[in-house]
């Protein structure tokens, strides 16, 4: 059983089909072979034996027809009887010649030889009788006539035997052809039954191994109405398999993407950890320095120059402390403190924060606000960070000053629904294709003192709010960042 199960389904079907074809071919070949043979045999019978049979029959008839003419001649002496006799004699010889020509059977040839000999003598004796009658010697003629009669019966008997031999031959041929036909029938029936069995087996295989599993599979994968509407399980199944393959391709590319993301975020996490440790280590000695400065300031009597120096040192120390504190503040794991906000307010606050820097870079800001902008659920502090990042980037990109356009609008977006869109565009130099693809990755920076984290963090923050950040840029055509945030309550 196990050995029978081992070949694959296609092999089994192929073997079955092959055997079926063989059986069919065998039927055809056998039929052709036998019919050719049968035909040859029939031809032989028709051409030879039939002619011989006919000749033997005709010979008997002609012989019988020769009877009586000499007697009639004896009675009335009319020579027309002799003429008729000679007609039948010629006819007999004609049929005899034909029999000799066509009949090659050795036994028949012996009989024909006997007929020939006996007939020759019979004719010769009969001619003698006729001659005696013609000369008027009726007595001698009559006596010879009786003898000739006996010869006639002897000849007739041989002719009859020859005819019977031919008829027997015909019967044999008929019997032989009949038995051959029967043999053909048996062989054909055997092959046909084999073909039938193989065909049933094939259908059985097709059903149990192919069609039923396909039907079951397609029923599992498809809705009922889908099968009913198309009526073709294989098409339904192939559609589903194609769908599955597409899903798999998509899943694989998504997996690759998320693996790349994971590697990046692991690297990020490690660097973040190291940076935090560094910041902590720096802060301790800085506090120590600050303490000593504090102590100095309390006790020292300084000149104006010394006071200025001291103030600068203290101010720079405070700046350092701020930097480290801000970094540590940022590196702390934060929780989103979401609240319903109007994004315009966040942008207002950002612009307030950045007014000095915008002035420094000679950058003007154009707002394009729309009334009835829906609120969003967001952490305003984090969003401020995003906008600061984007604006600072824009300022630094436009070295000789320029214009930033901030456009706010509500729109229906696929996968998000009702959303608030914020587009921040600058008219700076833009980015090349290569830079654009890399700029949202962590640790990718075009600036000498950049960390390569600003845009990456911005993307992360927007995504934490369930939104997206897209970048559109062309060289010499400026850069546009498009942020999409889901509207609060899905309005």
Residues near other proteins (CB under 8 A) are 280, 283-285, 287-288, 290-295, 332
For residues 194 and 331, which CB has a smaller minimum distance to other proteins in the complex? 331
Minimum distance of other proteins from residue 269's CB (angstroms): 18
Tell the smallest beta-carbon distance from residue 429 to other proteins (Å). 41
Closer to other proteins by Cβ: residue 262 or 313:
313
Q: For other proteins, which is the closer residue by CB, 86 or 287?
A: 287
| 177/49 Cα distance (integer angstroms) | 14
Q: Select 293 or 440, whichever has its Cβ closest to other proteins.
A: 293
Chain position carrying tokens 């055509």: 477
In this structure, the strands spanning 479-486 and 417-426 are antiparallel
Considering beta carbons, is residue 74 or 327 the nearer one to other proteins?
327
Work out how close the CB of 414 gets to other proteins at its nearest, in angstroms, rounded to a whole number.
41
d(Cα 13, Cα 94) in Å, to the nearest integer? 68
- Measured CA to CA, the distance from residue 398 to residue 427 in angstroms comes to 7
Are 156 and 64 within 8 A, CB to CB?
A: yes
Helices 233-299 + 304-331 axis angle, to 10: 160
CB nearer other proteins, residue 214 or residue 275: 275
CB-nearer residue toward other proteins: 279 or 392: 279
- Residue in 338, 335, 410, 314 with CA at minimum distance from that of residue 368: 410
Residue with smaller CB distance to other proteins, 302 or 360: 302
Output the smallest distance, CB 310 to other proteins, in A: 13
What residues are paired with 405 via a beta bridge? 366, 425
| Closest CB 443 distance from other proteins, rounded Å | 26
Least Å from the CB of residue 315 to other proteins: 13
Nearer to other proteins, 5 or 332 (CB): 332
Nearer to other proteins, 136 or 285 (CB): 285
Whole-angstrom Cα Rg for the chain: 62
Is there a contact between 421 and 482 (Cβ–Cβ < 8 Å)?
A: yes
What's the min distance (Å) between Cβ of 321 and other proteins? 9
CB of 282 to other proteins, least distance (A): 11
Least distance CB 265 / other proteins (angstroms)? 22
CB-CB neighbours of 106 under 10 Å: 8
Distance, in Å, from the CA atom of 451 to the CA atom of 434, rounded to the nearest integer, reads 19
Nearer to other proteins by Cβ, of 206 and 293: the residue is 293
Find the shortest distance in angstroms from Cβ 279 to other proteins: 10
Query: In whole angstroms, how close is the CB of 461 to other proteins at the nearest point?
Result: 20
CB 280 within 8 A of CB 328: yes
Q: Which residues contact 122 (CB under 8 A, 6 or more apart)?
A: 148, 151, 152, 155
Q: How distant, in Å, are the alpha carbons of 13, 164, 177, 178, 292 from that of 171?
A: 49, 10, 10, 10, 143
Q: Which is nearer to other proteins, 322 or 340 (CB)?
A: 322
CA distance 166 to 54: 9
> Residue 305 Cβ, how far from other proteins at the closest point, in Å?
23
């Amino acid at each position: 059983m196990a050995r029978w199960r081992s070949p694959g389904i296609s092999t089994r079907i192929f073997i079955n089909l092959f055997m079926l074809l063989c059986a069919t071919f065998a039927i055809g070949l056998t039929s052709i072979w036998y019919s050719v043979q049968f035909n040859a045999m029939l031809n032989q019978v028709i051409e030879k034996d039939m002619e011989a049979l006919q000749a033997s029959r005709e010979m008997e008839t002609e012989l019988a027809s020769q009877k009586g003419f000499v007697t009639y001649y004896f009675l009335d002496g009319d020579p027309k009887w002799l003429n008729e006799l000679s007609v039948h004699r010629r006819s007999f010889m004609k049929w005899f010649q034909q029999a000799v020509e066509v009949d090659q059977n050795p036994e028949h040839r012996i009989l024909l030889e006997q007929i020939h000999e006996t007939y020759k003598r019979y004719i010769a004796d009969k001619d003698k009788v006729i001659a005696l009658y013609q000369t008027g010697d009726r007595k001698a003629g009559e006596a010879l006539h009786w003898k000739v009669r006996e010869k006639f019966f002897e000849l007739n008997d041989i002719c009859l035997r020859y005819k019977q031999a031919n008829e027997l031959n015909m019967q044999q041929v008929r019997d032989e052809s009949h038995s051959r036909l029967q043999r053909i029938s048996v062989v054909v029936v055997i092959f046909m039954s084999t073909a039938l069995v193989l065909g049933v087996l094939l259908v059985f295989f097709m059903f149990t191994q192919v069609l039923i599993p396909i039907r079951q599979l397609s029923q599992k994968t498809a809705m009922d109405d889908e099968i009913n509407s198309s009526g073709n399980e294989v098409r339904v199944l192939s559609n589903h398999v194609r769908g599955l393959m597409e899903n798999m391709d998509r899943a694989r590319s998504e997996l690759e993407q998320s693996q790349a993301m994971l590697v990046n975020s692991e690297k990020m996490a490690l660097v973040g950890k190291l940076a935090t440790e560094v910041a902590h280590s720096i802060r301790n000695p800085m506090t120590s320095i600050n303490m000593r400065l504090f102590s100095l300031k309390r006790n020292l009597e300084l000149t104006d120059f010394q006071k200025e120096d001291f103030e600068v040192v203290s101010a720079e120390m405070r700046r350092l402390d701020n930097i480290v504190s801000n970094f540590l503040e940022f590196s702390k794991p934060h929780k989103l403190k979401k609240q319903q906000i109007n994004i315009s307010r966040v942008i207002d606050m950002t612009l307030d924060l950045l007014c000095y820097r915008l002035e420094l870079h000679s950058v003007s800001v154009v707002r394009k606000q729309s009334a009835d902008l829906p609120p969003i659920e967001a952490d305003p502090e984090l969003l401020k960070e995003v906008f600061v990042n984007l604006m600072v980037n824009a300022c630094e990109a436009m070295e000789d000053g320029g214009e930033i356009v901030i456009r706010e609008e509500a729109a229906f977006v696929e996968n998000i629904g009702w959303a608030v869109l914020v587009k921040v565009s600058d008219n700076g130099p833009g980015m090349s294709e290569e830079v654009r693809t890399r700029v949202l990755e962590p640790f990718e920076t075009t600036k000498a003192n950049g960390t390569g984290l600003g845009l990456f963090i911005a993307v992360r923050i927007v995504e934490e709010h369930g939104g997206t950040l897209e970048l559109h840029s062309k060289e010499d055509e400026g850069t546009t960042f498009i942020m999409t945030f889901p509207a609060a309550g899905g309005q």
